[in-house]
Structure 1
């Protein structure tokens, strides 16, 4: 069924240091949609993201591009070589772009086709995370010298290895893995298409540190693989995210954290990647930060129904913690678990007072790190999933999410 072109909804989070607790209310879908629409809408993009079926030669791909009226295209710089972004002629052989996308969706030589669209990270980033140019020597000291037992992929704005909280070597060592891309060292930058996935926004560094923090000093041999798909303004595209996701899957990571999302319009490309990794990789996803019901207004990727999705919402610091009106997304079917993520203390520099950060992005990151503690090679996804949830704490105030529970992280 042809996807609609139009405005796609994104999620923004508004930071709150002392948010007043307001009783959650139920609203109908029209009100939910209006709320999402006033938050942020994506820009229409006339490019198309396609994924070729595995095994096609370059000559066959060129013929297919010509058949669909491709005037320019881009491939993933370090990811799935079958994933491409196409610029199309407005009319080709009498067919509009929409008509050709419909044909692509049914083409046996393609695994999927989506209109490209913009998306953004869903939590605001406080100042003080980015400190300036990153020195290569500081990166070398943070790269592991041995293979890890558990790998966490972070699909975000990159990472600042010089953040003072990263005290031990934790970055992926590309020289120890197969299928590296050219001069790849510890991750990849899909914004500038190079081997420097450095964070010029801050969000990816915070997310990576919150995952790291769950694992440091535990004796677990872990590593983090950064895939930068969002720029300095926290903006990305479906194509960049698809490239980054495929890269991490090819890296055979065990967990992928995705602290971002969009609403309403699904992506066949992203859904297929997630389902293809259903047996091997846990996808920890943020549920969103606009206080809406994801069962009524689907939030992706957290609302995909694959068995390897762990959708995490943010709760406050009360005892027991509660959903925060206007911030915590919920959904009895589509949101699995809650983790504290509202008014978290975060230190930008040693010896200074912490700042406050808020968002399910941060809840998801903590859950990703905690999940790595529970990982055991050879265990099925079902067993892995239930080992994570074994430590959940029931709370009657969380009746609006699947397990009515939170992880005390």
Structure 2
């Protein structure tokens, strides 16, 4: 259970509207576009985009005319003009991205708009009353990059050849919010089928928010490696499963907060996604009310598995890391441990050789640690490719596979959380770095995937 003391402001829980399909206008490190570095720890903080803001109306049942009138009101209150409005693909009632004119003399900047929104009310002493906007929730727009060496197949396999014909209620369904998946690397059908679902989803299996189409092909490689770890572990244990790929990062591993929000918004429309792998993160920026709220709205159905980051810092006390730092009951923050042995040892002696050197840590925000390296992935293509990824991205993927193995449709998501934690070994000397010193061992460390 998350015990984070990190506070994320202005959470808004909204009703989900009906979707319509239209479009408005192996590197260890997590990288960032347009970043500045903190003086003390040299940790990259994403730059805020100064003329854009991510918005979610509190009441998503508003008509187009009502929303337009509220936008006009907000423009007048905060002295800016909306130059362009974009919505998530095929969800006109979902979150919006505004590109704004910031040249008005009285505009106080994006920071004021997001963090210090005022209403047109006044307090008893005549000062402006800082309460937050009554109509909408605002977040910063920023970009992050998953640093990674590009890996792609031959693009010879159609997505239709990798979709499971029909959804079986006994399958564990896993969404992967990442760079997509390269179908060339997977010989058998494994993708979640959304062709016949009529509850607001679209496409045939997932969505590509970079290219705005229904073919979430991975042209980077990161998402394919994540998927390979998960599917191989589940296949080895004969666990029936389906993968839902959501592409929010491009061929360079770059993605925006808005695309991540849209990806999570897509997942929220499905009511049988049992786990979401989120092997990415960013530092410092605390205002992500919209993403956190969407995740909180689907807490009854879904376990979120997030990577901790790879700077080797204490994210409880130094620079916060998100989304692993969200205080959400059914979110697992996953760190990465290293195990260096010259000879084979049995438990409990084996635990004495576990260290956390490259992974971020913090007993309030990191629930458990899994291997950060020693993954050998055989990417099936012509010819086969073998890669050895390193990072907490892959630690999180391994825990997602454990979630798939332990999933029981008769149990709640919180019971799945508990089952995962109960499977861990406790290493007392690591309790200051990980909650209760929780370590998920992979004893077949040298097995190829």
Scaled by the length of structure 2, what TM-score is found?
0.77
- Partners of 2:241 and 2:184 in 1: how far apart? 18
Q: Is 1:13 aligned to residue 19 of structure 2?
A: no
Matches within 5 A, 1:314-325: 314-318=336-340, 319-320=350-351, 322-325=354-357
Kept in 2, the 8 Å contact 1:88–1:97? The answer is: no
Aligned-pair distance for 1:134?
4.1
Q: Is 1:215 aligned to residue 234 of structure 2?
A: yes
Please list every run of 5 or more consecutive structure 1 residues that lacks an aligned counterpart in the other structure: 4-11, 16-31
Q: Is 1:281 aligned to residue 283 of structure 2?
A: no
1:401 maps to which residue? 434
Q: How many residues are treated as equivalent by the alignment? A: 374
1:6 maps to which residue? none
Matches within 5 A, 1:219-298: 219-252=238-271, 253-266=273-286, 267-296=288-317, 297-298=319-320
Deviations 1:349-400 (A, max 9, x none): 5787843211000010111121022222242332121111221112245332
2:143 maps to which residue? 118
Please identify the structure whose Cα radius of gyration is greater. Answer: 2
Q: Could you say what the CA RMSD is over the residues aligned between the two structures, in angstroms?
A: 2.6
2:188 maps to which residue? 168
1:60 maps to which residue? 66
Cα 1:35–1:177 shift into 2, 3 Å: farther
Aligned-pair distance for 1:91?
4.6
Kept in 2, the 8 Å contact 1:322–1:398? The answer is: no
Cα 1:2–1:354 shift into 2, 3 Å: closer
Cα 1:188–1:352 shift into 2, 3 Å: closer
Deviations 1:43-84 (A, max 9, x none): 331200011122111111112222322111100004573200
Kept in 1, the 8 Å contact 2:369–2:438? The answer is: yes
1:194 maps to which residue? 213
1:390 maps to which residue? 422
Please list every run of 5 or more consecutive structure 2 residues that lacks an aligned counterpart in the other structure: 1-6, 10-26, 31-36, 76-80, 119-130, 341-349, 443-449
Aligned-pair distance for 1:217?
4.4
Cα 1:168–1:317 shift into 2, 3 Å: farther
1:109 corresponds to which of 119, 124, 135: 135
Deviations 1:255-300 (A, max 9, x none): 1110000111121111112222222211100000110111012110
Cα 1:79–1:286 shift into 2, 3 Å: farther
Cα 1:279–1:370 shift into 2, 3 Å: same
Kept in 2, the 8 Å contact 1:79–1:244? The answer is: no
Deviations 1:2-24 (A, max 9, x none): 99xxxxxxxx8349xxxxxxxxx
Structure 1 counterpart SS, 2:354: coil
- Partners of 1:44 and 1:339 in 2: how far apart? 32
Cα 1:377–1:170 shift into 2, 3 Å: same
